[in-house]
Amino acid sequence: MKRVRLRTTSELLYPVPVVLVTCQGLSGPPNIITIAWTGIICSDPGLVHISVRPQRYSYRLIKERGEFAINIPTAAQAQQVDYCGVVSGKEVDKFKECGFTPIPGETIGVPLIAQCPVGMECRVVHSLEVGVHTLFIGEVTAVRADENVVERDTLSFNKVDPLVFFPPTSSYGTMKELIGSYGFSKKRPH
C-alpha cells in the first residue's frame, strides 16, 4: 500500500463534534455560533474547550460575560448548524431564524436552545490566545438533557443521533452504530 504525504494541518483530524454555542453579552440579545473546534479537556473538574476567532461577533459576548453554553444538536438539525456558522449575530437574530426557543440557564446568565437535546452550561476559567483562535476553557457547571434521550441515567447513543463534522472536506455526517464499549477487547480472545 503506497502512502502519500498530505499537507500538514490540524484540520485532518476527524471526525469532530459540531455544536451550537450560545452566548450573551452584559446587554443585548443572546446569540448562537457554530463551533467545531471543541472538546473535552478534563474529567474532574469537568472542563471543555471552544476555540473562537476574535473577529467573531460571539467572541466579544463570551469575553464580556465569561460564560457560554454548548448545545449539542442532532443530525436532523444540520441545516440550522450550518446556518449559525455562516451568518453573524451582528446582523441576524439566529434564534428567530432557526425557530429555536431560548431557555434560561440554571447556573449561568446565558440561555440554552430548547430544541437541542443536550445543553452544557460553562463558566470561562481560562482563555488563551493560541494563534488565529482564542481557546476558551470552560468549567461545566450544569448539564441538562431532554428526558427522551436519557436511558438509565445517561445519554443514549441511538436517541441522541449525533451530528459529526469531517474537517478534511468541511462536511457534516451521521454516526451509524456502536461496535463495543470501553474494555470490551479484554473479554475477547485475541
Ligand X SMILES: Cc1cc2nc3c(=O)[nH]c(=O)nc-3n(C[C@H](O)[C@H](O)[C@H](O)COP(=O)(O)O)c2cc1C
Which parts of this chain interact with ligand X (CB under 6 A)? Answer: 18, 31, 33-37, 51-53, 56-58, 82, 85-90, 165
Per DSSP, helices labelled H in the chain are 57-65, 78-84, 94-98, 157-160
In whole angstroms, the minimum distance from the beta carbon of 46 to ligand X comes to: 20
> What residue is closest to ligand X based on CB?
85
Residue type, 99: G
In whole angstroms, the minimum distance from the beta carbon of 94 to ligand X comes to: 7
Cell 440557564 locates to: 105
SS (H, E, C) 95-127: HHHHCCCEECCCCCCCCEECCCCEEEEEEEEEE
In whole angstroms, the minimum distance from the beta carbon of 117 to ligand X comes to: 19
In whole angstroms, the minimum distance from the beta carbon of 11 to ligand X comes to: 11
Decide whether 66 or 85 has the Cβ nearer to ligand X: 85
Decide whether 88 or 127 has the Cβ nearer to ligand X: 88
In whole angstroms, the minimum distance from the beta carbon of 142 to ligand X comes to: 23
Q: Which residues contact 27 (CB under 8 A, 6 or more apart)?
A: none
Decide whether 78 or 142 has the Cβ nearer to ligand X: 78
Decide whether 10 or 154 has the Cβ nearer to ligand X: 10
Cα–Cα distance for residue pair 105/119, rounded to 1 Å: 9
Q: Which residues contact 142 (CB under 8 A, 6 or more apart)?
A: 105, 106, 107, 108, 120, 121
In whole angstroms, the minimum distance from the beta carbon of 126 to ligand X comes to: 17
Residue type, 182: Y
Answer whether 73's CB lies under 8 Å from 20's CB: yes
